Amino acid sequence: MQIALLGGLVLFVWWLAGNTHENLTERGIRTGFDYLWRPARFPISESIIRYDASDSFFWAYVVGLANTLWLSFLSILFATLLGLVVGLSRRSAHPLLSRFAGTYVTVLRNVPLIVQLLFWYAIATSLFPVPREALNPLPGVFLSIRGVYAPALTLGPGASMLLIVAAFLFVLAIVAGFKAAAGRVLPVKAASVGISLCVWVAAIVWLSGMLGHPVGLDAPALKGLNFRGGMVLSPEFASIITGLTIYTSAFIGEIIRGGIDAVEKGQWEGARALGLSERHIMFRIILPQALRIIVPPMTSQYLSTVKNTTLAVAVGYPELGLVVNTVINQTGQAIESILIMLAVFLSISLSVSAFMNWYNARVALVVR
């Protein structure tokens, strides 16, 4: 019976693909993936990797994917940190803080994400003045309707590899911090890793200068009607990262609160009987046990956050969905473009799930 159902499904998919190809051919619509290597001939407003309108459609997809991954990573990181604060505030003994956190969670969870994104975009594009009248809260930092401008590091040809080493050390410091939170290493060791990281970064900057590739600072300056130089945080990116972070943090806060509440009260009472402080009880005893409950629902929330990045099209941020939509308008090859987008998001989701399952196995309670 199962073999018959599987065979019927295969035949249906085969018929559907053949019928679709025949209809597209009759209408003169090209099929296949040859278009990927043709020049895209459309701009992408912002990207974290180099892009030019003369690049291929394939590279345009890569740029959109890079923007999506960058947006997903920052949203998950900031939402997790903010969600931890919200979750702990929900359990605070201070009634004002606890009620504020509860109101925060209730309001944000029940307002659609698209509405929140449009709200933050409206603020970003109407609250600040024009560049000539930009706010200057800090030296070299300017706030205007065009975005936030700040000084940026300028790297020589050899400095990039050195910064990759620094980034690798930063990841090691984060891993050490997680292990410290799980009670597997002493906090002194985690602190020593952080100090070592700072020393390494200072050494890298010094070594880069000695090799003739000094790390400089490029400050923004008003030239004409806009600022030039430095780095810019566009209103589109600011609104999408703010909206995703705040919206997701409400769900993560409830997950963390639920995980902490699920730990038996005897753990609290035993730790207090030993004379431990509330901070040590929370971060050395309760949270390591709560992680085993928190991680599975957190995985689903992270996957939802990755998929919610497609709503960035509402505020005009060029993530993968917006790039795919532009490519479809340019080439008319909608089926191929949608298939690529489906494959990309499926791969990202499976990768996130695999990582979280691995981490869940690491923190799981082993019963012997």
Which CATH number does the domain housing residue 344 bear?
A: 1.10.3720.10
| 82 belongs to a structural domain | yes
Q: Residue 69 and residue 154: Cα distance in Å, rounded?
A: 24
pLDDT of amino acid 156 = 57
User: Residue 174: pLDDT band by 50, 70, 90 thresholds?
Assistant: low
| 192 belongs to a structural domain | no
Q: Is 102 exposed, middle or buried (0-12, 13-18, 19+ CB in 10 A)?
A: middle
Q: Does residue 125 or residue 162 have the better pLDDT?
A: 125
pLDDT of amino acid 227 = 76
| 287-316 pLDDT, tens digit each | 888 888 888 899 999 999 999 999 998 888
Contact at 8 Å (CB) between 215 and 156? yes
Q: Does 31 have pLDDT greater than 80?
A: no
User: Residue 140: pLDDT band by 50, 70, 90 thresholds?
Assistant: confident
Q: Residue 117 and residue 250: Cα distance in Å, rounded?
A: 15
Q: Does residue 143 or residue 76 have the better pLDDT?
A: 76
- As given in the structure block, the two tokens for residue 323 are 């790039």
Q: Does 202 have pLDDT greater than 50?
A: yes
Q: What is the phi/psi pair of residue 11, to 5°? A: -65, -40
Q: Does residue 187 or residue 317 have the better pLDDT?
A: 317
| 52 belongs to a structural domain | yes
User: Residue 187: pLDDT band by 50, 70, 90 thresholds?
Assistant: very low
Threshold 0.85, pTM exceeds: no
**Which domain, by its residues, includes 101?**
32-151+219-363
Q: Does 38 have pLDDT greater than 60?
A: yes
| 169 belongs to a structural domain | no
**H-type helices in the chain, by residue range?**
2-26, 57-90, 95-109, 113-126, 159-181, 187-210, 235-261, 265-273, 278-280, 287-308, 320-331, 334-363
| 78 belongs to a structural domain | yes
Q: Which residues contact 311 (CB under 8 A, 6 or more apart)?
A: 113, 114, 117, 240
| 300 belongs to a structural domain | yes
Q: Which amino acid is at 208?
A: S
Dihedral class, residue 234 (left if φ above 0, else alpha if ψ from -120 to 50, else beta): beta
Q: Which residues contact 117 (CB under 8 A, 6 or more apart)?
A: 239, 240, 243, 244, 311, 312, 314, 315
DSSP of 282-309: IIIIIHHHHHHHHHHHHHHHHHHHHHHG
Q: Does 186 have pLDDT greater than 50?
A: no
pLDDT of amino acid 188 = 45
Q: Does 367 have pLDDT greater than 80?
A: no
User: Residue 184: pLDDT band by 50, 70, 90 thresholds?
Assistant: very low
Mean pLDDT of the chain: 81
Q: Does residue 170 or residue 136 have the better pLDDT?
A: 136
What's the total number of domains in the chain?
Answer: 1
Q: Does residue 266 or residue 347 have the better pLDDT?
A: 347
User: Residue 167: pLDDT band by 50, 70, 90 thresholds?
Assistant: low
Q: Residue 290 and residue 325: Cα distance in Å, rounded?
A: 42
| 312-326 pLDDT, tens digit each | 988 889 999 999 999
pLDDT of amino acid 109 = 92
Q: Does residue 364 or residue 142 have the better pLDDT?
A: 142
| 232 belongs to a structural domain | yes
pLDDT of amino acid 161 = 59
Q: Does residue 267 or residue 208 have the better pLDDT?
A: 267
Q: Does residue 273 or residue 173 have the better pLDDT?
A: 273
Q: Does 123 have pLDDT greater than 50?
A: yes
- As given in the structure block, the two tokens for residue 32 are 């296949």
User: Residue 226: pLDDT band by 50, 70, 90 thresholds?
Assistant: confident
